[in-house]
Structure 1
Amino acid sequence: MPGNYVVVVVLSSLAALVLLLPPLFAAVDDGMRSGGKCTNSCGNVGFEYPFGVEDGCYRGGGFNLTCNHTYQSPRLFLGDGSVQVLDISVPHGWALINNTGMVFNSTETRVVLNRTWDQLVGGPYSLSGSNKIALVGCNARVDLRARVKVKHGGRGGDDDTGSNLISSCTAVCPLDLEDMTPVFAIGSGGSSAACSGVGCCQADINLDIPSSYTIQIHNLQELGGSISPTDLVFISKEEFSYTNDMAFGNNIPQALPALLDWYISSDPSECTYESAPDCLSANSFCHAYDLGYKCHCSDGYQGNPYIRGGCHDIDECKSPQDYSCYGNCNNTPGSHICDCPRGYERNASTPNGCKDIDECGHRETYQCYGECINFPGGFDCLCYHGTDGDPRKEGGCLPVKHHLSARDLGLFIGLGVGSGTILLLIAVGAPFLSRKMKDRMRIAVEVARALTYLHSAATVPLIAKVSDFGASRYVPINQTEVTNAVQGTIGYLDPEYYYTGHLMDKSDVFSFGVLVIELLTRKRPTYRTDQGDSLVLHFASLLRQGQLVGILDPQVLTEGGGEVMEVALLAGMCTRMTGQDRPTMREVEMGLENLRVSKKLASHDTASSSLVSQMAEHRMIATGDMEESSIQYSMEK
């Protein structure tokens, strides 16, 4: 039994459109073009000139629209209401329509059914090549043909109308060899199946087609065949979603979105040297196509090229990911400038394309005649140790007399001049925060020597009290401590002295430990974490957990090597809770000296051997020690 063939053509609903088209050129006021007096939306669809609803708001020749308010939500239609519009793009020149269909039947076998729509000739619309054509059925082929102009050969040949095959596909339903029933698709029931030739086929259209085109259905049914499902043809901009029960007339979509291209004029010759009468905005141009021309905003601009002032600058810097800028972005009219940040170079248009400049490798270019320290995005230029002045000028750093011997430094402290930070400035000739690890070690050793001198070698032993040198006291040679009113700087202050008022030589050991922590972390003793922990408490906690990397100065991590942990353990011992558990300054000094020369000497000084063993023990029982010593820091919060 031959099958019935129902052909649904997406653009057939345009047939009545040209019957109601207004004149091609309608007078349009500039004020109305900008939308000031014109409707610019209907339902959830927005639009602007050259489209419009009211007289004087559209260009004419097919750009008139109808907003139908009889629906629960208003719907927009082309012309006077024949084709529903789902979306319109003025910048890109397309319209998305909700297609309807045309049905026709045939009871004959091997028949070719033709339908031609040429009422739209002269309108601005054409079928976009980005659509697809799909056939649902059995043993049938669908052809999409366009009517085009062809030239006869020879002189005086007249143009004639021919038919050009644009796209085609065939759907078959082979018989199952077991029960001799037709196979409509791979799958069962209403499940999805591939539209790939069995029960359904689809093909890309690829070419823009003018308004005059033909759809042909070729019935390939054999005589005596028993297949009789409905055959359907769809044109849509999306992949066809096929279910095998569609072959029996079930779950058939009522409408599918299809894409139309539109042209502001059907005469491409009007577009000359990228200029055309309809491209009214500054920073716009025209582009000629086979079927007409369109206006576009120039590169770096967006908007509506069909109205004056409609193309406006794109601020690319607001969307750096879209315009590939991963550095400093500076917007310019119609463009933007993307540069690497200061201190970086190379390509800012690619991720991680900006690389740090090694200024220290080009001293003359960056005018650094002293010690140069490079860091990401910049560098420091300092006078070398023992000099002072302007390192940016050649010969600008001159020798200065500030390098004190241990005895002189001890006397300086004993006189009560300065503070711990000033001590460091004196020791290195520049802020320690920018110094190398070897310089920081030298600082610690020199301070330890000075304090050792004050505790033992000075004619009158002194408790230097690093926490506040102005509070230093003479201590009789037969005493190890002195009682006075508590005074000093919080952060350096020995907690035992804070509670008892007894100033001891071990108070200096604690304060020295705080200075060592400063050297390692590049943080002031008044530093607080987000949780309110002091520098010493936070350092002790991280040391106990083996997580010092979270607080150490990156330069220390880079240059310190294995000695960093030894110095950190020494700082932890110096800042124990009770003074009797801390090493003496002599032991601290010798321990630091041995660390400095450990690579050259095979044996350690006897005076420091006990400290080395203590440090090993401290490492083994760090958890217990640190939990005890952490009590001391709570009073600093």
Structure 2
Amino acid sequence: MIMKLGLLLIISFLCLTAKASSPPDEYMVKPNCRYRCGNVTIPFPFGIGDSCYLNVWYSVNCSINISSGAEKPFLNHTKLNLELLNVSLEHRTVEVNSPIASYDQRQEGSNTSRPSIDLDKSPFLFSRLDNMFVVLGCGQAKLMDHENVWADCTSICNHSYPAQGRNGLNFCQTPIPSTDSYYLNNYRVSFTRDCEGNNYSNSTTHAFLLARHWFSHIFTKPEDITSVKYAPLSLLWKTKSGDNASSDCNRIAYYNPMMGFYVHYSCSCPLRHEGNPYLHKGCDHVVKECTNCRGTCDYRYKFDDPSYRKYHIEYSCITKDRLRPIILGVSISGGSLLLLLGSIGLYKVVKKKKEIRLKRQFFKRNGGLLLEQQISSGEVAIEKTKIFTSKELEKATDNFNLNRILGQGGQGTVYKGMLTDGRIVAVKKSMIVEESQIGRFINEIVILSQINHRNIVGLLGCCLETEVPSLVYEYISNGTLFQLIHSQDTDFPFSWEMRLQIAIEVAGALAYLHSTCSIPIYHRDIKSTNILLDDKYKAKVSDFGASRSISIDQTHLTTLVQGTFGYLDPEYFQSSQFTEKSDVYSFGVVLVELLTGQKPICSTRPQEEKSLATHFILSVQESRLFDILDARVVKEGGKDEIMTIAYLAYRCLNLNGRKRPTMKEVTMELEHIRVSPPPFKVEQNFEENACIEMEITGPLDSTSSFKRSCLNYSKTSSSDKQPLLFNTL
């Protein structure tokens, strides 16, 4: 719409524009004087007849050509006697036929020829702006003023190009450098013989000044010069002091090497007037477009040729009636443009405010207020945790590109990213969007902000201003322990030493959480998928979304049962009371995974042994332990060492949590085994009732149920008289 209105405005303006018409003849000459000779107009200061010209230099003789019978005007001064071709008051120039300088190449050396035009002491000057220096034929020619060379042109003889058309072959042209205050009133042409001139004994070189606008059609062949002998030349004229200049003439100073500075008058009619500025009251004629204009008489400069700086003025009358559509078009266009810009600006402002308001809503819903409360209470070490913006995380993860996914779980999706400082990070984008469960997310921030341990993944920051919150962790490069155990690469053997080292590191991390932290922390979701491995295969415990911190005098947490099948403490399931020994049970399952290389739940085993914990306990009680161990463990580990660790795992899986060792004790025993493996002295006789709870339904939730069956064994255990409870699928 705006473009259409703009186009209408331009068309309307062009339709109102017209070139000014010429004034009548009586405004151009003195009274009773001729205005034309043949096809040439003769305006004052030039004139035909006595008292019709300004002075003798402007006297024009109108004579009849004997051969053609047509009238031709000549400048009448004896020093000039040049045929007058055109007079331009607007540009203050005249065009005359000037003689052409020629040079015979058969002569030796150089030859200098002066044109017959001598402008010295005349009001005329050679226009360096309106003329070109042209050389036709062979050789070099220079345009000189005294000792100054103003133009230099060289052409080469070539009979393959008999006609003009290629600069440098039989023809050469060049402009004359010009300044605003220096003009030529004399020039001479200096010729130099072509170095190959002896091969063209009949060739002749011609050089002359030629008016630019005649250049394209006056000469077509070099040999035409011999018949024409003249070329159109443009001259400037300047009225001097004492020439009775009219009130429409202005004083201008010019410089000439021979004359020095001198004053000329530049004459032109004022705007909206036309006529002859050299006559008294010669500019009283108002241009036709402005004569009866009742509105605004507008004007503009129209360049005939911008490179020559020549122009004329075009006028147009814009009346109120004709101005109305233009004003209307401009108003509508401007109004529409302002409305469009205003709408865009308003849209951006509203959008930005909406984004800010939405981010605040997300911040509040994602636990921002809860986090602020934790910070104010001193529970969160905020100096260690950065609050990232959504744009920072989008840039780091390439807008959460699917190719950046490291893993997915019940709590969210983890993406690999790179921050602006070059650090590689893992961005956990939470799937939790319900406000009732957002405390789990904030809890992970609170827990991790208090932890500083080499075997626990570090929290770098969080983002709460998006629909789903995100956590930013240090990037751990070698995946999870679950992947290492159950997707073993034959090119990278999972050795016994590595298994023992990882078990010690995980146990140490849990012991730190339970007994070293200022406030004890229960992880509540220990499993092999939550144990990450760095580039040196050092263990890093992760995923603290379900973790809880307790006061020192507390012994347990009473919560809704939650956890992962195969790792969940049966005692916790029955009582809903989570203790530090519940984490010990889960670690015992991880320890059995390291020993056996089997998954915590396996549907191919018998119904009562689908749980790895149950399968392990039954194998120990039936003296089948080495039948279920990983082949590499049996091959690389010492028997006593293996039996000691197996018995430690057996104790961790005890049904009675009070009989399980603490994580600190587990860590000390594992460290002792690594330093000096003890001989295994535990009696392996188990005479007790092993009661097994088997899960009936699917994922653990409020509808899950278990059934209890007890198996009788003839063997007794000297180490434990309590029944064992195992979790099987």
User: Shorter-chain TM-score: which interval?
Assistant: 0.3 to 0.5
User: TM-score, normalising length from structure 1?
Assistant: 0.38
Structure number, greater radius of gyration: 2
User: TM-score, normalising length from structure 2?
Assistant: 0.33
